[in-house]
Amino acid sequence: MKPPTIEGPPEDGDPKPPLAKSLLWFAALWVGGVAAVAIAAYSLRALIL
Amino acid sequence: MEFDALLLSRLQFAFTIGFHIIFPAFTIGLASFLAVLEGLWLTTKKPVFRNLYLFWVKIFALSFGMGVVSGVVMSYQFGTNWSVFSAQVGSVIGPLLGYEVLTAFFLEASFLGIMLFGWKKVGEKLHFFSTCTVAVGTLISAFWILAANSWMQTPQGFAHAADGTMIATDFAQVIFNPSLPSRFAHMVLAAFLTTAMVVAGASAFALLTKKAIAESRTALRMSVLMMALVAPLQVVVGHESGVVAHEYQPAKVAAMEGWWETKAQQPTLLFGWPDQDAETTHAAIGIPGMGSWIVAGDADAVVKGLDAFAPEDRPPVWITFWAFRVMVGMGFLMVGLGLWGAAVWLLKRLDTATLYHRALVLAAPAGFIAVLAGWISAEVGRQPWVVYGVLRTADAVSPVPAGSVATSLIFFMVVYAIVFSAGALYILRLISKGPDTDEDPPKQTSEPPGSPLGTGVKSAATKEG
């Protein structure tokens, strides 16, 4: 079954990931968010310049 | 009425901002609601809070996306339709809009990814931090936008440069202009109420259709609590905003109230039909003295009417007057629904009050209507000025042909009708489906549940079989 796009919280029995891994994911997703904003912003800017 | 570039540009901005404001008005409140839900999930571990979070976060993401798309269009219009305005005041309010992007939008947009895709990956605490960051980001965003708009209503802290453009002499004064505190509070509370009305309507609909009972009951309680506490507070804050407007923009308040004559004992008109040409309000029904008492604290105070201003300095009265009444009407409707909800809750009938649930479903758009009407009364009431008392709207428009503005307006109307109708319908579909739940689905039986007749029919059928 395909996992849901919007992720839910860890289940009760799930092992807790190491802190370093959680922080890496946190940084990666944040950078991904910034990149998405930057791509959209520069694409829109390219349209008008 | 001539459809020149000025009127068409105003219509275009009104159309696009009218669509845009619907989304932030909803997402500001929804982001805080999500932070509260996640906080409650973390502390209690009750599945209803997790289910509600996962349900409303989808709607938040869609609304946020549509808010961004509709907001970008307005930024373009500052250049295309309002280039003189941009050239004149860009040095003053440009930085405020820049701060909004840097300190608020980037915060919301970059942490949204963690909120949507990272709960398992980053763990509970970092995810909660991200949700709170997005919620704070929406509030910071509202602060900067309200700072820029409030400066246009009550400008200060600027001077004219040699070339006639405006430059900021004191950014603290520009940002913390006189109308910012009351207008910012009024807008944030309006956003919370808008969200509360939608959540209440959706929860009531789910209860009426017997879906996700536990989640819907919880969400209904949270939204009724918000309505009962915040709607009366909003009346007080709205009053304060009106008092500030009366002090700095008396023509706007005179138009909102339909006061043509400067006099003591100004009435509060409950109904009327303002006639700008005849300079009177036909069929006026009002309470004498109440208007003076509301804005000046004394029923006998002499309060300015529109006759104190030259006809070319008066705003369009009919729209301002009626938009204000619609906003106030919706506000009191929300106060009434909040108190009604609190009463049935105290009587322990909140889950079964079908009539109340139906009223909530019907009133779900009340917050949106109030926000739109409030902004119409604030912005039309500021006319004929784009920066009150400093720069006229007619002097701020771009030197572009009316045909160009008409073409882009038609384009926007067609695209918005398609994109936002599809988005709104999808959100309504999600809402009608209701949250996922851990409850067992209701059993499908052909007999009336629990009735002796049903039991009897079933036993007879078993015996015959």
**Touching check for A39 and chain B: CB below 8 Å?**
no
DSSP code at position B391? E
Contact between B335 and B231 (Cβ < 8 Å): yes
Task: Please give the backbone phi and psi of residue A48, each rounded to the nearest 5 degrees, phi first.
Answer: -100, -10
Q: Which residue has the tokens 């936002």?
A: B420
Radius of gyration (Cα) for chain B, nearest Å? 25
Which of B92, B63, B121, B44 shows the shortest CA–CA distance to A10? Answer: B121
Pairing of strands B391-392, B385-387: antiparallel
pLDDT category of residue B441 using cuts at 50, 70 and 90 = low
| Residues of B whose CB is below 8 A from A29 | 113-114, 117-118, 121-122
**Touching check for A9 and chain B: CB below 8 Å?**
yes
Instruction: Name the residue facing B120 among A7, A26, A33 (closest C-beta).
Output: A7
Contact between B153 and B183 (Cβ < 8 Å): yes
Instruction: Name the residue facing A34 among B110, B122, B124 (closest C-beta).
Output: B110
Average pLDDT, chain B: 91
Q: For residues B390 and B441, give the distance between their C-alpha atoms in angstroms, rounded to a whole number.
A: 63
**Touching check for B133 and chain A: CB below 8 Å?**
no
Please list the residues that pair with B387 across neighbouring strands: B391
Provide the token pair at B261: 């004559």
Residues with Cβ within 8 Å of residue B202, at least 6 apart in sequence: B219, B364, B431, B434
pLDDT at B449 over 60: no
Instruction: State whether residue B440 is helix, strand or coil.
Output: coil
pLDDT of residue B450: 56
**Is A5 in Cβ contact with B113 (below 8 Å)?**
no
DSSP code at position B263? B
For the stretch B190-217, pLDDT in tens is 999 999 999 999 999 999 998 888 999 9
Provide the token pair at B296: 């000046």
Provide the token pair at B326: 């619609």
Please list the residues that pair with B160 across neighbouring strands: B166
Q: Is B273 left (phi over 0), alpha (psi -120 to 50) or beta?
A: beta
Among chain B residues, the shortest Cα distance to A8 is held by: B119
Q: For residues B411 and B333, give the distance between their C-alpha atoms in angstroms, rounded to a whole number.
A: 36
For the stretch B366-421, pLDDT in tens is 999 999 999 999 999 999 999 999 999 999 999 999 999 999 999 989 988 888 88
pLDDT category of residue B464 using cuts at 50, 70 and 90 = very low
Tell me the whole-structure pTM to 2 decimals.
Answer: 0.89
Instruction: Name the residue facing A33 among B61, B112, B122 (closest C-beta).
Output: B112
Provide the token pair at B435: 């949250």
Residue B173: other Cβ atoms inside 10 A: 15
pLDDT at B429 over 70: yes
**Is B120 in Cβ contact with A8 (below 8 Å)?**
yes
pLDDT of residue A5: 77
pLDDT category of residue B330 using cuts at 50, 70 and 90 = very high
pLDDT of residue B456: 46
